[in-house]
Amino acid sequence: MKWGDESNRCALLELWATGVLRRLRRNGEAWDELQRLPWTRLTGRSGELTLVPERRPELEQLLNGCWPEWRQVAAWLGAAGHPLDESGWRALQDQWRREEFPGAPGPRLNRRTAAGALAEHSKAGLRASQRSILEGTTLTGDNILRLRPCDGMLLEREGVQHDATALARLLGEVVLTERAMLEGTRLAGRLPAAVLVVENLGPYVDLPAPEGWLVAHGPGWNLKAVEMLLDQLSPAVPVVHFGDLDENGVRIARLMRSLRAGVRWFVPEWWADYLPRARPGAWSDALDLSDAPPLVRQLKEEGRWLEQELIALDDRLSGALLALLDGS
């Protein structure tokens, strides 16, 4: 039993302060252990324990061992008007973090920086009370967008234009940050004939793209930066998604389609030539593939999957992409 766990020691504090403890999801481990100890008795109410008065010193001894400053915590909670339980302790810590928060350094703040300052840890979600401290501040994921630009494409910011292909020759590719796009960096010049969003990094950097196409890296589920790119483009610019043929690949393709109407899913028929190299993989029975290409349905039936790297260098790829837009 880990009495040092915050939920567990808060359950001990609550039992000490109130004499009773109701079983909740957050304190279930502590409640179950306390029920087994001779310190408590079940009350007539469902899921409620009461402290045996003569066992109070043993409870205090346990608190001394797992939370040496618990008496000070109890005093702080009482002075702040918070209940002596887990919700009160969390509220008091929230209060302290709000009081210590120096404020955002600008109009934008990384969401993990914000959570690290205002919540329990950097990966925690922000509650409404914590978000209220950040009113007027845009929280960012600070994703990046990796692009292989097409000839004639420019990047523009505050009226100043830069040749995107020249930047790609210098840097290897063009990388736009989420903040740059939020602050006004836009595509300009000759816009692409189509956009190809590639799930995996290897095919993104290596595949031969049709002339005039913009190639973007869409890293799995993290499509926020891709969404920001698509928002800049006219609905008339076709968008094609190219990813793995497995269960996650299907779900990612559907996510892409939810971001923009008319996204084409690139699954050329000749990809079936690579079936001898398909790998075993589980598919959920509940996954509906009624709208999926025949090859995807076949892979599910056979419990296999195909990775996109297999066809990244196939000399048929560029022509198949163009044919996809022609509808042939």
DSSP states of 217-272: E--TT--HHHHHHHHHS-TTS-EEEE--BSHHHHHHHHHHHHHSTTPEE---GGGG
Which stretch of DSSP H or E encloses residue 21? strand 20-22
Distances (CA, A) of 116 to 4, 27, 119, 124, 132: 22, 24, 6, 8, 16
Q: What gap in Å lies between CA 178 and CA 19, rounded to an integer?
A: 52
Token couple for 145: 């967008």
Is-contact 156 185, C-beta < 8 A?
A: yes
Task: List the domains of the chain with CATH numbers.
Answer: 1-100 (no CATH), 103-141 (no CATH), 144-326 (3.40.1360.10)
Residue 328 has pLDDT above 60, yes or no: no
Is pTM, for the whole model, over 0.95? no
Report pLDDT for 327: 63
For 31-82, the pLDDT digits (tens) are 999 999 999 999 989 999 999 999 999 999 999 999 999 999 999 999 999 9
For 161-187, the pLDDT digits (tens) are 999 999 999 999 999 999 999 999 999
User: Which is it for strands 40-42 and 48-51: parallel, antiparallel or unpaired?
Assistant: antiparallel
